[in-house]
Structure 1
Amino acid sequence: MSSEELNHIIPNTIVGPYRIVRGFKGRGGMARIFESEVREKYRHPNLPRRLALKIAKEDHQAALVAEADFLSRFDHPNVVRIFPLPLGDDRRPVYAARERFPFGWGWYYAMELLSRDSLERLLTRPTTTGLLLSPSAEGRRLSLLKTLGIARQLTGALEHIHEQYVINLDIKPGNVLFRRRRFKYLRSSVPQAVLCDFGISRDLRHPRAGILGIATPEYLSPEQITEMGRRHEQLDTRSDIFSLGVTLYEMLTGTLPFANIAMIADPLYTPIPPRQLRPSISPRLEEIVMRALAKEPACRFQTAREMQAALDQVPTPTDWKAGARRVFAVTTTGLALTGCLTAVGWGIKSLTNTPTPTSGPTPAPAIETVTCAPTVRLTDEQRKSLTPTHPATDLAPPDRVGRYRQGPPAGGERGRHLPPLRQRGL
């Protein structure tokens, strides 16, 4: 299976319990990495929904199975994490599986999906791709704070894998990725480094003598170069110490300690001390780097724990940027909280100052009073004056058309009648 055949794996391709989302380029010469999604019926609360799927090329199928076995032994925050296949039963976890692709059968395994940022991207030393980089980027190097932080994390990762009888044999900036963290701006300025790619790793109890795999020549140890000469010298943990020393030198100075593989193999060549290229490096840190780059394995640190103890004795620079970010975050949060409390206070105050109608007995409706005139008693003379003197021919009541008719009232009796109200003046 060539790299061109791996290009046939396109998005939405089903690979076992996973579905391909997209492919990554330029990661590994023995396999290709794809971003994948766990299919709905295989999802589990303890399993991330998005994972990285590594599919081996045809000539490196056995190496991928061995790599999956190595990763299943590790449990360290600075080592990439592998996930078993979501089979949904209590059987023994299975980490590597075969799948039939359009080009044939191939092995794969799933691991955590990390960010695309790597230590190699932070370093801008001139490489074969230097023509693609801007000239202003050349010569850039990491701060002492980041260098110490990443170096301590990598030595901790090496200590863990060495305890599991595994040597990496491919320590380089391209195999150091960074894990995404929540609230990373409030944390340290040092990113969380994760050691990846154990494709050419070996088990110290069952070494694969003579199989070098695909390693980067600039980071090879002298023992690995000697093995290329078919002397079959057995490698051990000190080979990883040398490769880590090369990486540490590059982080501090922005350049490689050895320009080519011949300088690494030459026992008389000594790289330029880092302080000559960067005077701010402490003598203690320079001593650690030069000891890790010793050509003779017996002169190096014998274990990763020993190198980590030496790095812990180097004073750590103050992380001013992280402190400033925390102060800014606390100040911004305090101002926002103060504004919210002020707004709530004004709202409560406006509610308490608004007059509200008080509940009480309902007043009785007003009664309009009319004042009556006092009663006046009339004398007999007054009564006589009010009596009309008209004869019995007074006007009779009006008829239907409003005309007054004369004559005595019905019944033939003549009597005296009071005039209408209008004539009486009432």
Structure 2
Amino acid sequence: MIGPGRQLGKYHILEKLGAGGMADVWLAEDTTLKRQVALKILPPEFARDPERATRFEKEVLSSASLQHPGIVTIHDVGHEQGVHYYTMTLLPGGDLKQKIRAGLSPQQALKLLHQMADALDHAHGKGFVHRDLKPENIMFDGREQPVITDFGIAKAVGSGTKMTGTGMSIGTPHYMSPEQAQGLADLDGRSDLYSLGIILYEMLTGQVPFDADNTVGIAMQHVQAPIPRLPQSLGKLQPLLERLLAKDPGQRYQNAGELVQAIDDALSGKLPAPAAKQPVQKTQVLKAEKSPPTGKGSGLKWAVGGALLAAVLVGGFL
């Protein structure tokens, strides 16, 4: 049983910092180096699967090669007494979700977006795709600088032949890209940029752009719903948002470096280039239908819905 006072290898567990679907987070002391670290422990149901546990360690070791001030430093990965874990730099400044709740100015939001995009540009250049960007995975260090955590973890614990047969991974529903919502396996950095677009909208307005009363409904909105309008006072940022949230990856910024330049332009007063035309209106909450419709076009709608439902079910979000 994991808890305060337990020794896990050279780590003395002090207190629980948080819990999530992919890992529980503990404050621990490295008794060799005499420093505090964040200790992330893989859930038991994942650790019992040898293939997934091995993949977890491989992905963490691989992501440890990322060296950037905007990406958390991985210190160690291992397993002890059947518990699989990794340790990373302790980030004392809370997460982005907390700052969104407190309120951010447009200038603060753009500055944070710039810093996150710069970190992604580094990671994507090394061949890494995050797959699960969300405010809870963006922490702050002691200097109040954003630091992206959990690179590769979504792929490690959320995919594999036993789960999907395709190697696909699914992100958190409110922040997943249309490609993820449709269960596509071949994701690239543009999927992360879409997730950044969701985060930008949330930083500017305090709410996510797409919502519904169930996970499948949220996923369908990512695929089908028009991009919502920002409030009139933020209208100059609409082209930037629309490029990030384009349904077609080919209409988005093609890499994070392009996004960094667009943010620089926005901060200097230049208008971002718009994406190709897409319908724009306020998003409506989709209600799950109780019986299949029979009208024209209903077959396609239900085929898409069925694919999304299957993807979400294997991703473990229901």
Same fold? TM cut 0.5: yes
Task: Report SS of the residue matched to 1:24.
Answer: strand
Matched, 1:264 2:222: yes
Verify the 8 A CA contact 1:32 1:55 in the aligned structure 2. yes
Q: Give the number of the structure whose residues are more often helix, by fraction.
A: 2
| Deviation for aligned residue 1:236 | 1.0
1:98 match: 79
Task: Report SS of the residue matched to 2:233.
Answer: coil
- CA offsets 1:95-139 (integer angstroms, 9 cap, x no match): 322201xxxx12212110112511111223xxxxxxxxxxxxxxx
* Amino acid in structure 1 at the alignment position of 2:27: E
Distance 1:214 1:59, change over 3 A: farther
* Amino acid in structure 2 at the alignment position of 1:265: V
2:233 match: 280
From 32, 56, 66, the counterpart of 1:64? 56
Q: Which consecutive residues of structure 2, in runs of 5 or more, have no partner in the other structure?
A: 47-52, 212-217, 270-318
Verify the 8 A CA contact 1:148 1:311 in the aligned structure 2. yes
* Amino acid in structure 2 at the alignment position of 1:193: P
2:3 match: 10
1:184 match: none
Give me the whole-angstrom Cα distance separating, in 2, the residues matched to 1:209 and 1:289. Answer: 34
1:108 match: 85
Task: Report SS of the residue matched to 2:154.
Answer: coil
Verify the 8 A CA contact 1:64 1:108 in the aligned structure 2. no
Q: Which consecutive residues of structure 1, in runs of 5 or more, have no partner in the other structure?
A: 1-7, 84-94, 125-139, 182-190, 318-426
* Amino acid in structure 2 at the alignment position of 1:312: D
1:321 match: none
2:110 match: 148
Task: Report SS of the residue matched to 1:76.
Answer: coil
Verify the 8 A CA contact 2:110 2:267 in the aligned structure 1. no
Task: Report SS of the residue matched to 2:72.
Answer: coil
RMSD: 2.3
From 51, 72, 88, the counterpart of 1:80? 72
Verify the 8 A CA contact 2:104 2:203 in the aligned structure 1. yes
Give me the whole-angstrom Cα distance separating, in 2, the residues matched to 1:53 and 1:251. Answer: 28
| Deviation for aligned residue 1:159 | 0.6
From 132, 136, 145, the counterpart of 1:192? 145
Matched, 1:163 2:125: yes
Give me the whole-angstrom Cα distance separating, in 2, the residues matched to 1:245 and 1:194. Answer: 17
Give me the whole-angstrom Cα distance separating, in 1, the residues matched to 2:181 and 2:219. Answer: 8
Give me the whole-angstrom Cα distance separating, in 1, the residues matched to 2:229 and 2:238. Answer: 7
Distance 1:253 1:316, change over 3 A: farther
Q: How many residues align?
A: 251
| Deviation for aligned residue 1:67 | 3.5
Give me the whole-angstrom Cα distance separating, in 1, the residues matched to 2:176 and 2:168. Answer: 10
Verify the 8 A CA contact 1:73 1:164 in the aligned structure 2. no
**Greater relative contact order (CA < 8 Å, ≥ 6 in sequence):** 2
1:120 match: 97
- CA offsets 1:150-181 (integer angstroms, 9 cap, x no match): 10011011111111111001111111111112
2:203 match: 251
